[in-house]
Structure 1
Amino acid sequence: MKYYIIAGEASGDLHGSNLMKALYKEDANADIRFWGGDLMESVGGTLVSHYKERAFMGFFEVIMNLSKVLGFIKFCKKDIAQFKPDVLILIDNSGFNLRVAKWAKEQGFKTNYYISPQVWASRASRVKDIKRDIDTMFVILPFEKEFYEKYDYKVTFVGHPLIDGIAGRKQVEEVAFRKEYDLTDKPIIALLPGSRKQEITKMLSVMLSLIDDFSDYQFVIAGAPSQDFSFYQSIIGNRKVSFISNKTYDLLSVSYAALVGSGTATLETALFNVPQVVCYKGGNISYQIAKRIITLKFISLVNLIMDREVVKELIQNDFNEKNLKIELTKILDDTYREKLFLEYLDLVKKLGGKGASEKVAKQIVSDLKKEVN
């Protein structure tokens, strides 16, 4: 059978790659065409467009690049029409995918969505469009099922794919890792400022301002695969900091603490049992717009899932050198850390069991076989 998958950003590429592996297990003759990244391409199938080409952040930035975005959507529709898939699988990336879904449903294509748009965070009115355009929705956060039930829309909770991704990874030998990247024996404070240039620019310099105040530790930047070192170097300057690209999980596995940009990275850090401070600072126009339409109490997935403040969030103007120093000091304290580790255990329980990608693949293939028979 023929599958067309659309994923955006590094996280979508990760989850898309695991889903593709599961699809190939369920359907040995699967013909997969996709929008994604290096991880998905390494599994097989045909890459149509790399997510790096579509990496725009924030409302204002998207508007400034609107013509490019619309061009990608037009090309995507044409490519789907030519490929004629048995099912269209959309992964997160709602700004792009919901537009494609509307057209695809009108054309009679079967539409599945894996990793729901964050309609629970803002613009809940989109649920009406989702009910109209999406045949099957697979959700990965426990509260999403309850959210959709309020709108009389049945979805399938499959658990969070990060649990599998982290559990299944090859373990890092710490001594060898430190030697490979010329790291000292000091405890590591990992810096995860995000993957897009706009967010890295806004946050990394503030994170780096703490280096001299924590000389008993070494700071290591987790470089995003979508950005070259030369870009980071322009922000680092002469500061004494290590840089490791495209090895975030390996870095977290040996880290003592972390300063993390909001998003999936906050959950990843928690699943590696690393105490963290959550940081966010966006462009002023984008932030002002977001503040008016986002109704959530928290921005980190950790706090959203637990429905209380487990990790500290420093947002926009609160994200400054003074506050960051205070919060980093806290997560380095043994008593504070012990309490946080217990919270992390509760978090894992809430996320459900393993096998999210396998559950999604099995249902997709099973549904298609039923239609054929």
Structure 2
Amino acid sequence: MTLSSNSSASPRSLLIVTGEPSGDQHGARLLLALKEIEPNVQAFAVGGENLRKAGAGILVDIAELSVMGLVEVAQKIPVLLRAKNRILEAVRLHHIKTAVLIDFSGFNLRLAKSLKAMGVRIFYYVSPQVWASRKGRVKKIRELVDHMFVIFPFERDFYEAEGVPVTFVGHPLLDEARPQEDPETLKRRFFPGIAPSITKDGDLPFPRVIGLLPGSRASEIRYLYPRMLAAFDLLRTKYPGLRAVVPQTPHLNDSLFSPMESIYPWALDPDVFRRVPGRFREVTKACDLAIVTSGTATLETALLDVPMVVVYVMNAFSYQIARRLVTVPAIGMVNLVAGLSSDGRTAMPELIQEKASPERIFSEVCQIFSDPGRIKRMKESLARVQGSLGEPGASGKAAAEMARLLGWKKEDSLS
């Protein structure tokens, strides 16, 4: 799609803004669902390859915006301002009157203020986590957002109580295709020489493949991937036959990963270590356990029925600020959905900041591997999470409600 001026732009022109790969996936599915209702919709987006393939004209690629932590955001302010200016220019140029903002709240809530001043109708899909920190932001949302589309039932209750128009659509991850192959088949796909699983008396198989899931942002990987690799190096001393597999987000280059891996001789052995681009679900489902960066990946891992250790590290200054703002008892979304146990424990262990050392990760993984009862309880928690995310079809439900609110009908389509 070209981005040339079009003074007679279709009233079906739409802006979609996200800042992360997961939001790019959600936005693409939403756009395709909207096109089922209104084939003439013309979309412009801040997004990535998924939105591009869905037919959106990309104004800013998410690779330019990927950032975590307050200090890191401050360092990227010039980039974020240029992105905002380009978006607002496109809104004026193409007479866009509707925007769908997807997560990415630090940027999107600021953008929403400018869009509102331009008379743009604002839908928000995948809510900012205002229920977790800085609840005062809900006042801003009430002023700026015309309709909120949420993916967790408790979010609907929260916004209804705050007087924000809201629709619960279920989680869009339920619409993503999951591998049909069993974990054993997937293990052999990535490690053809791996020995068959041997169990007796209903025991769980000896751990053979662990997943290292360092995130989708370059900044996350720089903080967390070295710790995961070092933890796996320690695990190999206790479990010599253990393999590791890493799902690599496609927009991240090998050059980000390779220097961190180069210090470990086993990283050159494909029968021990594999980094696989673009096949997150297959890679993760092949694992007996995963070390996962906190974020959407924890829910994706839960839907694949893989127990996990949740880890997160950020700039020390950013962390000190964040810990004063966050009011929820866990940071991993999988744990927030699962809830705490009667003794106050999270369903999946969390290692945050200085606790996310290679030695602590190693110790936590060893404790899990040595306790089949604990693995069973973790699997039961994963089943509860899976059951609480609603029914499939989030994208279609959101698209149908957006079209209704906008008055779009197929019989009104422009020729």
Normalising by structure 2, what TM-score? Answer: 0.85
Residue equivalent to 1:205: 226
Q: Counterpart in 2 of 1:137?
A: 148
Q: Percent identity?
A: 34
> Are 2:27 and 2:51, in contact at CA under 8 Å, matched by a contact in 1?
yes
Question: What secondary structure does 1:137 align onto?
Answer: strand
Counterpart selection for 1:234 from 236, 255, 259:
259
> What is the aligned partner in structure 1 of residue 204 from structure 2?
none
Q: What's the offset of the Cα at 1:178?
A: 5.4
Alignment of 1:107-122 (within 5 A): 107-122=118-133
1:312 aligns with 2:349: yes
Matching residue's letter, 2:313: K
Return the match for 1:288 from 320, 324, 330.
Answer: 320
Q: Hey, what does 1:221 align to over in structure 2?
A: 246
| Superposed displacement of residue 180, structure 1 | 6.0
* 1:193 has 2:214 as partner: yes
Choose from 12, 19, 22 the match for 1:11: 22
SS in 2 for 1:48: strand
- Deviation track 1:262-319 (CA, whole Å, cap 9, x = no partner) reads 0111111111000100011111111111112112210001111122111000001111
**1:184–1:218 CA contact under 8 A, matched in 2:** no
In structure 1, runs of 5+ residues without a counterpart are none
Q: Which residue of 2 aligns with 1:321?
A: 358
Between Structure 1 and Structure 2, whose CA radius of gyration is higher?
A: 2
CA contact (8 A) 2:59 2:86 kept: no
> 1:325: how far off?
1.6
* Alpha-carbon distance between aligned partners in 2 of 1:325 and 1:176, rounded to the nearest angstrom: 27
The alignment yields a C-alpha RMSD, in angstroms, of 2.0
Report the equivalent of 2:392.
Answer: 354
Output the amino acid matched with 1:275: P
CA distance change for structure 1 residues 193 and 115 in 2, over 3 Å: closer, same or farther? Answer: same
Q: Tell me if structure 1 keeps the 8 A contact 2:288–2:307.
A: yes
**Aligned 8 A contact 1:14 1:39 in 2:** yes
Given that 2:338 and 2:382 are in contact with CA atoms closer than 8 Å, whether structure 1 keeps it comes out as no
- Which residue matches 1:247? 279
**Aligned counterpart, 1:279:** 311
How much has 1:330 moved relative to structure 2?
3.1
CA contact (8 A) 1:141 1:351 kept: yes
1:171 aligns with: 180
For 2:45 and 2:300, how far apart are their aligned partners in 1?
25
The question of 1:96 aligning with 2:107 is answered yes
| Residue from 31, 48, 53 that aligns with 2:64 | 53
Aligned length: 371
Task: State yes or no: 1:70 paired with 2:81.
Answer: yes
**Structure-2 separation of matches of 1:175 and 1:347:** 23
Shift of 1:183: 5.2
Q: Are residues 1:265 and 2:303 paired?
A: no
Shift of 1:150: 3.2
Contact 1:2 1:30 in 2 (8 A): yes
How far, CA to CA, are the matches of 2:72 and 2:312 in structure 1?
A: 16
Show the counterpart of 2:199.
none
Conserved? CA contact 1:279–1:313, under 8 Å:
yes
What are the equivalent positions in structure 2 for 1:148-187 lying under 5 Å apart?
148-165=159-176, 168-169=177-178, 171-172=180-181, 181=190, 184-185=193-194, 187=208
Does the CA contact (< 8 Å) of 1:276 and 1:331 recur in 2?
A: no
Amino acid at match of 2:256: F
Give the TM-score taking structure 1 as reference length.
0.94
Report which of the two has the higher share of helix.
1
